[in-house]
Chains A and B, each alone.
Chain A
Amino acid sequence: MKSAALQSSVINDLVLLSCVGLRPVLVHGGGPEINSWLLRLGHEPQFHNGLRVTDALTMEVVEMVLVGKVNKSLVSLINSAGGTAVGLCGKDARLLTARPTPDAAALGFVGEVARVDPGILRPILADGHIPVIASVAADENGQSYNVNADTAAGEIAAAMGAEKLILLTDVAGILEDRNDPDSLVKEIDISGIRKMVMEKKVAGGMIPKVNCCVRSLAQGVRTASIIDGRVPHSLLLEILTDEGAGTMITG
């Protein structure tokens, strides 16, 4: 999330939702910040098929930036907005256990989610606090892994039996016709979206997001939405109105 004003607006919405009784869980990544710090250390950020190539040094930087900087800054924003946040990463209370992706030779320490233990989130939510989770996890032996934030969010949603999974992106959602911004697909089911992917109507960076949503829905999450984070109050629009602010995929 690039602009501070937008970040602030999303945080305010999150705190509002928490105040009215919803129990939101925020999962975050932080690509731009990671890139910026890697460059400061003279290390060029590298990507392979859209995923960050994470060697040992990059992993250290990812962990420091996501857990130490981005996470705490979000926690601080939530606290300032009137909520109370608790910042965690996948390692805390073994919330997420990672394993290397099949592509580990090319990607290094990029992790898949092997196991989720949502136990720690229940007391936090029960006390009315908002958990903020950085998508860094460890494997059985304590080796750190960089996990994709959308994937982490999807699996945590599945583990908690969440009502909704919401992916905040910087596009309007899924378009029926890529060249027509008015052709936003508002609601679609799993077979419909799989058909769209086969018909190549969904492309590029949207495919992993769609797969993440389907995986989550298949495990019992009621709905998964991909919404436009650039629209002010998109979170409120999606959760509290019928029109929503992006594309909702139903199970």
Chain B
Amino acid sequence: MGIRGVTVSDVRGFGAQGGSTERHGGSEFSEDKFIAKVKMEIVVCKDQVEAVVEKIIEEARTGEIGDGKIFLIPVSDVIRVRTGERGEKAERMSGGRADMMSLTASID
């Protein structure tokens, strides 16, 4: 779908589940115990957001406690360190949605 980069970190976390426990590695963990989790950070154009959210939910949902949350955060600017580009040019990545769209446009 044109997403060409993501940052993934191994973190620990917990979330209040109204008394239910979360299962991890076969064992049950109550609300206040830290469990190993994965955090993903993806920066996209505003108009891609809904598609990305839907995709994450489609792939990651198991229906069990511990599926996690998506936080949508506005990003005030994107700067590419290597070239100093800012804004839309910096957010664009090769092979990403912009390239995919211009490719389909030229096949007429």
With known contacts A190-B61, A214-B63, A118–B23 Cβ distance under 8 A? no
State A167–B13 Cα separation when bound (angstroms).
Answer: 32
In the bound complex, do residue B63 and residue A155 qualify as a contact, i.e. CB atoms below 8 Å apart?
Answer: no
Stretch at the interface among A37-45, A108-116, A199-207: A108-116
Which range contains the number of A residues in contact with the other chain?
20 to 34
Q: Which residues of A contact B26 (CB under 8 A)?
A: 113, 115-116, 118, 155-160, 219
State A160–B5 Cα separation when bound (angstroms).
Answer: 31
Q: What per-residue 1/0 map shows which CB atoms of A154-169 lie under 8 Å from chain B?
A: 0111111100000000
Q: Which residues of B contact A72 (CB under 8 A)?
A: none
Q: Which residues of A contact B28 (CB under 8 A)?
A: 99, 113-115
State A204–B68 Cα separation when bound (angstroms).
Answer: 30
State A15–B63 Cα separation when bound (angstroms).
Answer: 36
Name the residue of chain B whose CB is nearest to the CB of A117: B27
In the bound complex, do residue A214 and residue B64 qualify as a contact, i.e. CB atoms below 8 Å apart?
Answer: yes
Q: Tell me if B62 is interfacial: C-beta within 8 Å of chain A.
A: yes
Name the residue of chain A whose CB is nearest to the CB of B64: A218
Q: Tell me if A183 is interfacial: C-beta within 8 Å of chain B.
A: no
Q: How far is the CB of B16 from chain A (nearest CB, A)?
A: 19
Q: Which residues of A contact B67 (CB under 8 A)?
A: 218
Partner of A159, one of B27, B58, B62: B27
Q: Tell me if A68 is interfacial: C-beta within 8 Å of chain B.
A: no
Q: Tell me if B24 is interfacial: C-beta within 8 Å of chain A.
A: yes
Q: Tell me if B66 is interfacial: C-beta within 8 Å of chain A.
A: yes
In the bound complex, do residue A251 and residue B62 qualify as a contact, i.e. CB atoms below 8 Å apart?
Answer: yes
A-to-B contact residues, CB < 8 Å = 99, 113-116, 118, 155-161, 190-191, 194, 214-215, 217-220, 251
Pull 8 A–B residue pairs with CB atoms less than 8 Å apart, ordered by A.
A114-B27, A118-B26, A156-B26, A190-B61, A190-B63, A215-B64, A218-B63, A251-B62
